[in-house]
Amino acid sequence: MFESSPKLQLNIKPHSELFSLLMEVHGIQSAEEYLKQGVRRCRNAVRTCSRFEEVSGSRAKEFLKQEFIEHLKGEAMSLSDTAIEVLDNALSARESLELLTRVNLLRIKGDIHRYLFEITGERRDRDNALQAYNESLLLADISLRPTEVAYMNLVCSMTSLLKSDPKNHRLAGTCKHCFQTALSLLDPFDKDSYQQTTAFLQLIRTNLVGGYHS
Protein backbone atom coordinates (compact mmCIF):
# COMPACT_ATOMS: atom_id res chain seq x y z
CA MET A 1 0.00 0.00 0.00
CA PHE A 2 2.87 2.35 0.77
CA GLU A 3 5.16 1.44 -2.11
CA SER A 4 5.49 4.97 -3.45
CA SER A 5 5.03 8.55 -2.37
CA PRO A 6 1.31 8.80 -1.57
CA LYS A 7 -1.06 11.05 -3.45
CA LEU A 8 -4.51 11.59 -2.02
CA GLN A 9 -7.34 11.67 -4.54
CA LEU A 10 -10.45 13.05 -2.84
CA ASN A 11 -12.08 14.69 -5.85
CA ILE A 12 -12.64 17.69 -3.62
CA LYS A 13 -11.56 20.95 -5.26
CA PRO A 14 -12.89 24.01 -3.45
CA HIS A 15 -12.64 26.26 -6.51
CA SER A 16 -13.82 23.71 -9.04
CA GLU A 17 -16.82 24.11 -11.31
CA LEU A 18 -18.78 21.70 -9.09
CA PHE A 19 -18.28 23.86 -6.00
CA SER A 20 -19.30 26.98 -7.92
CA LEU A 21 -22.34 25.19 -9.30
CA LEU A 22 -23.41 24.07 -5.83
CA MET A 23 -23.14 27.64 -4.58
CA GLU A 24 -25.16 28.96 -7.50
CA VAL A 25 -27.91 26.34 -7.65
CA HIS A 26 -28.27 25.03 -4.10
CA GLY A 27 -26.79 27.82 -2.00
CA ILE A 28 -24.04 28.03 0.54
CA GLN A 29 -25.28 25.22 2.80
CA SER A 30 -24.89 22.57 0.09
CA ALA A 31 -21.52 23.96 -0.95
CA GLU A 32 -20.29 23.95 2.65
CA GLU A 33 -21.56 20.41 3.20
CA TYR A 34 -19.51 19.46 0.13
CA LEU A 35 -16.34 20.87 1.68
CA LYS A 36 -17.18 19.47 5.11
CA GLN A 37 -17.42 15.95 3.71
CA GLY A 38 -13.94 16.37 2.22
CA VAL A 39 -12.54 17.19 5.68
CA ARG A 40 -14.48 14.24 7.10
CA ARG A 41 -12.95 11.88 4.54
CA CYS A 42 -9.49 13.10 5.50
CA ARG A 43 -10.28 12.43 9.15
CA ASN A 44 -11.52 8.92 8.37
CA ALA A 45 -8.41 8.19 6.30
CA VAL A 46 -6.11 9.43 9.09
CA ARG A 47 -7.92 7.16 11.56
CA THR A 48 -7.55 4.18 9.23
CA CYS A 49 -3.85 4.77 8.59
CA SER A 50 -3.15 5.32 12.28
CA ARG A 51 -4.56 1.87 13.07
CA PHE A 52 -2.00 0.12 10.88
CA GLU A 53 0.49 -1.64 13.09
CA GLU A 54 4.14 -0.81 12.66
CA VAL A 55 5.84 -3.52 10.63
CA SER A 56 8.91 -4.79 12.45
CA GLY A 57 12.08 -3.95 10.57
CA SER A 58 10.28 -1.94 7.92
CA ARG A 59 11.27 1.64 8.63
CA ALA A 60 10.69 2.68 5.04
CA LYS A 61 7.03 1.66 5.11
CA GLU A 62 6.53 3.27 8.51
CA PHE A 63 8.03 6.48 7.15
CA LEU A 64 5.69 6.37 4.14
CA LYS A 65 2.72 5.79 6.43
CA GLN A 66 3.57 8.84 8.51
CA GLU A 67 4.20 10.86 5.36
CA PHE A 68 0.78 9.86 4.06
CA ILE A 69 -0.88 10.84 7.35
CA GLU A 70 0.79 14.25 7.23
CA HIS A 71 -0.40 14.65 3.65
CA LEU A 72 -3.96 13.87 4.76
CA LYS A 73 -3.71 16.41 7.56
CA GLY A 74 -2.51 19.02 5.09
CA GLU A 75 -5.44 18.30 2.78
CA ALA A 76 -7.88 18.60 5.69
CA MET A 77 -6.41 21.92 6.80
CA SER A 78 -6.48 23.31 3.25
CA LEU A 79 -10.13 22.35 2.77
CA SER A 80 -11.00 23.69 6.21
CA ASP A 81 -9.35 27.05 5.55
CA THR A 82 -11.41 27.48 2.39
CA ALA A 83 -14.65 26.38 4.04
CA ILE A 84 -14.20 28.57 7.12
CA GLU A 85 -13.34 31.61 5.01
CA VAL A 86 -16.52 31.19 2.94
CA LEU A 87 -18.58 30.57 6.09
CA ASP A 88 -17.24 33.61 7.92
CA ASN A 89 -17.95 35.83 4.92
CA ALA A 90 -21.51 34.54 4.74
CA LEU A 91 -22.12 34.79 8.48
CA SER A 92 -20.87 38.37 8.55
CA ALA A 93 -23.85 39.37 6.38
CA ARG A 94 -26.34 38.77 9.19
CA GLU A 95 -29.18 40.81 7.73
CA SER A 96 -29.32 38.64 4.60
CA LEU A 97 -29.49 35.27 6.38
CA GLU A 98 -32.49 33.64 8.01
CA LEU A 99 -31.99 32.41 11.56
CA LEU A 100 -32.35 28.78 10.47
CA THR A 101 -29.61 29.25 7.87
CA ARG A 102 -27.32 30.80 10.48
CA VAL A 103 -27.99 27.90 12.86
CA ASN A 104 -27.06 25.39 10.16
CA LEU A 105 -23.98 27.27 8.93
CA LEU A 106 -22.62 27.64 12.46
CA ARG A 107 -23.20 23.93 13.03
CA ILE A 108 -21.29 23.11 9.85
CA LYS A 109 -18.48 25.41 10.99
CA GLY A 110 -18.40 23.57 14.31
CA ASP A 111 -18.35 20.20 12.52
CA ILE A 112 -15.35 21.24 10.42
CA HIS A 113 -13.41 22.37 13.49
CA ARG A 114 -14.44 19.14 15.27
CA TYR A 115 -13.04 17.02 12.45
CA LEU A 116 -9.79 18.98 12.69
CA PHE A 117 -9.71 18.39 16.44
CA GLU A 118 -10.20 14.67 15.86
CA ILE A 119 -7.27 14.75 13.42
CA THR A 120 -4.85 16.98 15.32
CA GLY A 121 -5.94 16.82 18.95
CA GLU A 122 -5.21 20.54 19.14
CA ARG A 123 -7.02 22.45 21.90
CA ARG A 124 -7.49 25.38 19.51
CA ASP A 125 -9.56 23.27 17.14
CA ARG A 126 -11.70 22.00 20.00
CA ASP A 127 -12.28 25.53 21.29
CA ASN A 128 -13.23 26.74 17.81
CA ALA A 129 -15.73 23.90 17.48
CA LEU A 130 -17.23 24.70 20.88
CA GLN A 131 -17.56 28.38 20.03
CA ALA A 132 -19.37 27.67 16.76
CA TYR A 133 -21.69 25.14 18.39
CA ASN A 134 -22.49 27.50 21.27
CA GLU A 135 -23.29 30.35 18.89
CA SER A 136 -25.51 28.02 16.89
CA LEU A 137 -27.27 26.80 20.03
CA LEU A 138 -27.98 30.36 21.20
CA LEU A 139 -29.77 31.06 17.92
CA ALA A 140 -31.51 27.69 17.92
CA ASP A 141 -32.89 28.31 21.41
CA ILE A 142 -34.69 31.46 20.26
CA SER A 143 -35.84 30.28 16.84
CA LEU A 144 -36.45 26.51 16.95
CA ARG A 145 -38.27 23.92 18.98
CA PRO A 146 -35.90 21.42 20.63
CA THR A 147 -37.51 18.61 18.63
CA GLU A 148 -36.98 20.19 15.20
CA VAL A 149 -34.52 18.53 12.81
CA ALA A 150 -32.03 21.42 12.72
CA TYR A 151 -31.95 21.53 16.53
CA MET A 152 -31.53 17.78 16.81
CA ASN A 153 -28.73 17.81 14.21
CA LEU A 154 -26.91 20.43 16.23
CA VAL A 155 -27.16 18.47 19.47
CA CYS A 156 -25.95 15.33 17.68
CA SER A 157 -22.88 17.24 16.51
CA MET A 158 -22.23 18.54 20.01
CA THR A 159 -22.44 15.07 21.53
CA SER A 160 -20.06 13.82 18.83
CA LEU A 161 -17.53 16.38 20.07
CA LEU A 162 -18.13 15.11 23.60
CA LYS A 163 -16.96 11.65 22.50
CA SER A 164 -13.57 13.19 21.65
CA ASP A 165 -13.56 15.45 24.72
CA PRO A 166 -15.19 13.31 27.45
CA LYS A 167 -13.92 15.41 30.37
CA ASN A 168 -15.75 18.51 29.17
CA HIS A 169 -18.41 18.50 31.87
CA ARG A 170 -19.97 21.79 30.79
CA LEU A 171 -20.55 20.44 27.28
CA ALA A 172 -21.91 17.20 28.74
CA GLY A 173 -24.34 19.16 30.91
CA THR A 174 -25.54 21.24 27.97
CA CYS A 175 -26.09 18.18 25.80
CA LYS A 176 -27.90 16.34 28.59
CA HIS A 177 -30.20 19.32 29.15
CA CYS A 178 -31.03 19.47 25.42
CA PHE A 179 -31.71 15.74 25.43
CA GLN A 180 -34.04 15.92 28.42
CA THR A 181 -35.89 18.94 27.02
CA ALA A 182 -36.52 17.24 23.68
CA LEU A 183 -37.58 14.07 25.48
CA SER A 184 -40.16 16.00 27.50
CA LEU A 185 -41.64 17.53 24.33
CA LEU A 186 -42.18 14.28 22.43
CA ASP A 187 -45.64 14.08 20.88
CA PRO A 188 -46.67 10.42 20.49
CA PHE A 189 -49.77 11.47 18.55
CA ASP A 190 -47.68 12.95 15.71
CA LYS A 191 -46.35 9.68 14.29
CA ASP A 192 -43.86 11.09 11.76
CA SER A 193 -42.41 13.65 14.14
CA TYR A 194 -42.32 11.13 16.99
CA GLN A 195 -40.36 8.55 14.98
CA GLN A 196 -37.92 11.12 13.64
CA THR A 197 -37.29 12.70 17.04
CA THR A 198 -36.85 9.38 18.83
CA ALA A 199 -34.28 8.33 16.21
CA PHE A 200 -32.29 11.50 16.93
CA LEU A 201 -32.65 11.00 20.68
CA GLN A 202 -31.32 7.45 20.44
CA LEU A 203 -28.23 8.72 18.60
CA ILE A 204 -27.74 11.55 21.09
CA ARG A 205 -28.07 9.12 24.00
CA THR A 206 -25.52 6.78 22.41
CA ASN A 207 -23.07 9.65 22.01
CA LEU A 208 -23.65 10.81 25.58
CA VAL A 209 -23.00 7.33 26.95
CA GLY A 210 -19.94 6.97 24.72
CA GLY A 211 -18.64 10.34 25.87
CA TYR A 212 -19.02 9.53 29.55
CA HIS A 213 -17.20 6.21 29.15
CA SER A 214 -14.45 7.25 26.72
For residue 151, pLDDT beyond 80: yes
Rounded distance, CA 64 to CA 59, Å? Answer: 9
Write out the DSSP string of 84-110: HHHHHHHHH-GGGS-HHHHHHHHHHHH
For residue 164, pLDDT beyond 50: yes
For residue 126, pLDDT beyond 90: yes
Per mean pLDDT, which range of 26-30, 39-43, 64-68, 130-134 is the poorest? 26-30
Residues contacting 203, CB < 8 A, separation 6+: 156, 159
Please report, for the chain, the start and end positions of each structural domain, with discontinuous segments joined by +.
13-120, 144-213
Phi and psi at residue 121, in whole multiples of 5°? 75, 10
Cβ(100)–Cβ(150) below 8 Å: yes
Residues in the chain: 214
Query: Per residue in 42-98, pLDDT tens?
Result: 888 888 887 776 555 577 777 787 888 888 888 888 888 888 888 888 888 766 778
Rounded distance, CA 115 to CA 38, Å? Answer: 10
The mean pLDDT of the chain is: 81
- Over the Cα atoms of the chain, what is R_g? 19
Instruction: Find how far residue 52's CA is from the centre of its chain.
Output: 24
pTM of this prediction? 0.81
